[in-house]
Amino acid sequence: MADDVMMDLPAEVAQAVAPVLDALPMTQAMGRLVVPEAAARQVLPEAAARQVLPEDEAWQVAGGVTSPIIECVEAAVADGAIVSRPALVSGLWLYVDELDRSHVVSQGIDDATGSFWHGIMHRREGDFSNSHYWFRKVGTHPVMVDIDGYDPHQLIDDVEAASDDDHGRDFDQLVALQRREWQTLFAWCAQVES
């Protein structure tokens, strides 16, 4: 899957994000529909909101990922190919479930793409009405036609109805759609902002 993500990216962007995708492959990223710890991190100090797990379980950390992966993202967003492209920065933070960091960036992007990332972030934190609001601001976006079976408002409703405890067929399909949504939007942002 990392190869699928990389093949749609300009070389300089692919090089900058390769360590992130190697450390946290797409098949392990964004495996939860809602990251409930995001709201807790807004209230609790970061250290209290995180659990420390063995490195091989990094992608499963409640409330985010472990430090080595965060360090990979910090290096990627500081890279010259990424640093001046806030849509890519916002997307990378979403990729590793760092919703607060993504939110700070997406709030400063005053266009449909920024609203798209903003809407995804609110859906992933479980603030479904706010997610609908941001997707209404998006209206239509070129990326939407490139994602088979994609309706952002239906996805919000389906995620709200689903349970992260229920790893049935619908859950798996929603996670797969969430990953395609991220991959398609990130690749589009990398191409358009090149």
pLDDT at 147 over 60: yes
Kindly state the tokens that stand for 175.
Answer: 């996670």
Report the percent of the chain where pLDDT is more than 90: 70
Would you state the pLDDT for residue 7? 72
| Cα separation, 117 vs 109, whole angstroms | 9
Would you state the pLDDT for residue 66? 61
Between the CA of residue 94 and those of 38, 100, 123, 168, what are the distances in Å? 11, 9, 11, 24
- In the chain, where the domains are located: 2-192
pLDDT in tens, 32-91: 999 976 554 443 334 333 333 333 333 344 445 568 999 999 999 999 999 999 999 999
Record the pTM: 0.83
Kindly state the tokens that stand for 162.
Answer: 């689903």
Would you state the pLDDT for residue 191? 93
**If pLDDT is split at 50, 70 and 90, which confidence band does 190 have?**
very high
pLDDT mean across residues, the chain: 84
Question: Which residues have CB under 8 Å from 131's CB, separation 6+?
Answer: 119, 120, 122, 123, 156
Would you state the pLDDT for residue 37? 66
Between the CA of residue 88 and those of 51, 64, 140, 164, 169, what are the distances in Å? 27, 18, 19, 27, 30
pLDDT in tens, 3-36: 566 678 999 999 999 999 999 999 999 999 999 7
